[in-house]
Structure 1
Amino acid sequence: MDDLDKEIFIDFFECKNNWVNFANESDSFEGNHRSAESTNCVGFRDAFADPMYIEFCTVPRTRFVYPYRKNFIEKLRKLSSGKAYVLFKETNDLIEKYGWCTFDMG
């Protein structure tokens, strides 16, 4: 579900192709001969960013932030960084459980 409570489908095969294209065209990554067959990378993650995030290479990109606070009341409650990391790690572990990965930016 996105911020507007609309159901969104994330196609990891599409994300993988988009990640390969981005990495090959970017000056931030060494080399430019990656192929979709050589990776299962579908996006980026950064546990040291504020806030932490996992971002998928959809068009446009889809970013999950930790802690996520949808409204003012949730902002007031402030999820502790320890719990936010647990949620971040659970999401990343699920991605890896099914054979995918994200590029570590942090």
Structure 2
Amino acid sequence: MPEFHHSRIKGITANALIYWDEQDQEVCIDFSECRSNWVHYVNASDSFEGNNRSIETTNCVGCRDAFANPMYIEFYTVPRTRFVFPYKKNIIEQLRSLNSGKAYAFFKEINNLLMKNGWSTFDLG
């Protein structure tokens, strides 16, 4: 699975997330495609209860985990694409076993931009 530092994200629109890959080429993640892949994944999985989902009933395009180390947001592209939010912890964060406050601020900003544009991610943590 491709994994990128969140600073590689160029922007989020109503339809897509744009980022730079390893070769500094601009890449577009199509949210409609991610939603379709999410629905297929959930319906094929034994891990989710409930009726079959459809693209008409969800705007979920991936998953997120603020408690993972490092935090990440993962999109249901093929293969999946993950953006990580790693930062060194300050002494208080280290003592309390918390993720970096700076990392969380960027994590929250990206998640808020997704929601502002009408999309969601499944919370794993």
Residue correspondences, number: 96
- 1:3 CA drift (Å): 2.9
- In structure 2, C-alpha distance between the alignment counterparts of 1:62 and 1:53, rounded to whole Å: 10
Calculate the aligned-residue CA RMSD, in Å: 1.1
Query: Does structure 1 residue 23 correspond to structure 2 residue 42?
Result: yes
Query: For 1:35, which of 41, 45, 54 is the aligned residue?
Result: 54
- In structure 2, C-alpha distance between the alignment counterparts of 1:9 and 1:79, rounded to whole Å: 29
TM-score, L = length of structure 1: 0.85
SS at match of 1:37: coil
- 1:33 CA drift (Å): 0.8
- 1:9 CA drift (Å): 0.5
- 1:32 CA drift (Å): 4.6
TM-score, L = length of structure 2: 0.73
Counterpart residue identity of residue 24, structure 2? D
Query: For 2:107, which of 88, 91, 103 is the aligned residue?
Result: 88
- In structure 1, C-alpha distance between the alignment counterparts of 2:121 and 2:40, rounded to whole Å: 15
Counting strand residues as a fraction of each chain, which structure ranks higher? 2
Q: Is 1:16–1:41's contact at 8 Å kept on the other side of the alignment?
A: yes
- In structure 2, C-alpha distance between the alignment counterparts of 1:4 and 1:28, rounded to whole Å: 36
Counting helix residues as a fraction of each chain, which structure ranks higher? 1
Runs of 4+ in 1 over 6 A off after TM superposition: none
In the alignment, structure 2 segments of 5+ residues that lack a partner are: 1-19, 90-99
Query: For 2:71, which of 33, 46, 52 is the aligned residue?
Result: 52
